[in-house]
C-alpha cells in the first residue's frame, strides 16, 4: 500500500541515492577515479557523507514531528527550521570529520589541517548546512502543498455533502411526523388557548426556516442553535405534556461558540424519538454546554435505553459524525453511551475557538 510512511522512505532512498550517483559522476568527470586508491577514497567519502545524511535527516524529521512544527505559525516554522538545520549540520560535520580520520579517508587539504579539528568541522558545517537546508526546504514545501490540497479537498467534500444531502437534511432534522403532530397540537389550541397557538406557529416557523438555511453556512453561534432547540422542545412539550421534562445547563461563556447548524437539534430530536417516546412515564431531556479544557463540550442527556450502536442508525447521527469530521478533522469527537442503566448521553467535543 502506498502510505505516507513508505512514500517517505522511497523519497529518502531516491534523494540520497541520486546524490551519491551524481557525486560519483562528477568525480569520474573530473578524473578523480584514475587509481584504485582514488576510487577507494572518493567512494568511501561519498558513502560516509550519504550514510550520515540519511540517518541525520531522518532524526531531523523525527524532531520536526515531535515539535509539531508544521502546525506552528509560518514565522516560527522558518526560524526553528533554520535552527534545527544548523544544529544537525554541526553534528554531521563533527561525526564526518571523526569518521574520515578513523578510516583514513581525509584528502590532502584536510590532512594539512589535521591538527586543527575545529577548522575542519567548521568547513564541514557549511557543506552539511547547504544539503540539510535543501532537504528541509523540500520537506517543508511538500507538506505545505499537501496540507493546502487536503484543506481544499475537505472544503469540496463538505460542499458536495451539503448539496447532496440538502433535501435529506430537512427530512432528517424535521420529520413529517413532528410537523403533523405540531399542527394537530396547534389546531387543538386555537380555541382553548389562542395565544399559545400563535406562539406555537412562530416556533414551528423558526424551526422550518432554520432547516432551510442549513446548507448556507458551516457554523452558527450556539445561542442561535439553542433558540431552535428551545422552540423544538416547546412544541414537543405540547404533545408529551407532563411526560417530558426539559432541563438546561448552559455556560453563558459558550453562547458565542460556533457549532454546526441543526446539529444540537438533531441530537435532541434523537433523544425524543428513541428515548422519551419509548417511555410510558416519559422522562427528562437535559441539554448542557460547557468548556472542557481546550474543547467546547455539548451533551444531550435523556431517559431511555441505548440499543446496539446508535451511531450508525439513521441519517441524523451519521451526519453529525460526518460534519464534525469534515469541519474539524480528528480534533472533534462524538459519542453516545448508556449511563446508569436509565439514561443515554450524546456528547460532542468541538475545539474551542476564541471569540
Residue 233 — left, alpha, or beta (φ > 0 → left; ψ -120 to 50 → alpha)? alpha
Report the distance separating Cα 197 and Cα 183, nearest Å.
Answer: 10
User: How far from chain centre, in Å, is Cα 277?
Assistant: 36
Domain 165-351 part of CATH 3.30.565.10: yes
Cell numbers at 69, concatenated = 512544527
Residue spans of the domains in the chain: they are: 4-151, 165-351
Nearest by Cα to 130 from 91, 98, 89, 75: 89
Per-residue pLDDT of the chain (355 residues; tens, 9 = 90+): 445 578 889 999 999 999 999 999 998 998 888 888 889 898 999 999 999 999 999 999 999 999 988 888 878 888 998 999 999 999 999 999 889 888 888 887 777 666 677 788 888 899 899 999 999 999 888 888 887 777 777 777 776 666 555 445 544 545 565 666 667 767 766 777 788 878 878 877 877 776 666 556 778 899 988 988 888 888 888 778 888 899 999 999 999 999 988 788 888 888 888 888 888 888 999 999 999 989 999 999 999 888 754 444 444 577 788 778 878 888 999 999 888 888 999 999 999 865 4
First-to-last CA distance in the chain?
43
Q: Scan for cell 412515564, then name that residue.
A: 281
Report the distance separating Cα 234 and Cα 332, nearest Å.
Answer: 29
Report the distance separating Cα 350 and Cα 355, nearest Å.
Answer: 14
User: How far from chain centre, in Å, is Cα 281?
Assistant: 42
Amino acid at each position: 500500500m502506498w502510505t505516507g510512511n513508505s512514500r517517505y522512505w522511497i523519497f529518502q532512498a531516491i534523494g540520497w541515492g541520486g546524490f551519491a550517483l551524481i557525486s560519483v559522476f562528477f568525480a569520474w568527470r573530473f578524473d578523480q577515479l584514475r587509481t584504485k586508491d582514488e576510487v577507494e577514497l572518493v567512494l568511501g567519502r561519498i558513502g560516509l557523507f550519504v550514510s550520515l545524511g540519511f540517518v541525520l535527516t531522518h532524526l531531523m524529521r523525527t524532531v520536526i514531528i515531535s515539535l509539531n512544527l508544521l502546525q506552528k505559525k509560518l514565522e516560527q516554522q522558518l526560524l526553528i527550521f533554520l535552527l534545527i538545520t544548523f544544529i544537525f549540520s554541526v553534528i554531521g560535520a563533527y561525526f564526518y570529520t571523526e569518521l574520515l580520520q578513523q578510516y583514513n579517508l581525509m584528502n590532502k587539504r584536510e590532512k594539512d589541517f589535521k591538527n586543527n579539528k575545529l577548522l575542519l568541522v567548521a568547513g564541514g558545517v557549511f557543506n552539511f548546512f547547504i544539503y540539510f537546508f535543501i532537504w528541509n526546504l523540500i520537506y517543508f514545501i511538500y507538506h505545505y502543498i499537501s496540507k493546502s490540497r487536503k484543506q481544499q479537498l475537505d472544503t469540496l467534500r463538505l460542499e458536495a455533502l451539503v448539496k447532496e444531502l440538502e433535501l435529506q437534511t430537512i427530512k432528517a432534522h424535521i420529520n413529517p411526523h413532528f410537523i403533523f403532530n405540531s399542527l394537530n397540537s396547534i389546531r387543538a389550541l386555537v380555541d382553548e388557548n389562542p395565544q399559545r397557538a400563535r406562539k406555537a406557529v412562530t416556533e414551528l416557523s423558526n424551526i422550518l426556516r432554520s432547516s432551510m438555511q442549513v446548507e448556507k453556512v458551516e457554523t452558527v453561534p450556539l445561542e442561535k442553535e439553542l433558540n431552535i432547540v428551545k422552540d423544538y422542545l416547546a412544541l414537543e412539550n405540547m404533545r408529551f405534556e407532563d411526560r417530558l421534562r426539559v432541563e438546561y445547563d448552559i455556560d453563558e461563556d459558550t453562547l458565542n461558540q460556533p457549532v454546526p447548524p441543526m446539529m444540537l437539534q438533531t441530537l435532541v430530536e434523537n433523544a425524543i424519538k428513541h428515548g422519551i417516546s419509548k417511555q410510558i412515564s416519559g422522562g427528562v431531556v437535559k441539554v448542557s454546554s460547557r468548556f472542557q479544557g481546550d474543547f467546547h463540550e455539548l451533551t444531550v442527556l435523556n431517559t431511555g435505553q441505548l440499543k446496539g450502536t446508535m451511531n450508525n442508525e439513521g441519517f441524523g447521527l451519521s451526519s453529525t459524525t460526518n460534519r464534525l469530521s469534515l469541519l474539524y478533522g480528528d480534533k472533534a469527537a462524538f459519542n453516545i453511551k448508556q449511563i446508569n442503566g436509565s439514561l443515554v448521553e450524546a456528547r460532542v467535543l468541538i475545539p474551542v475557538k476564541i471569540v
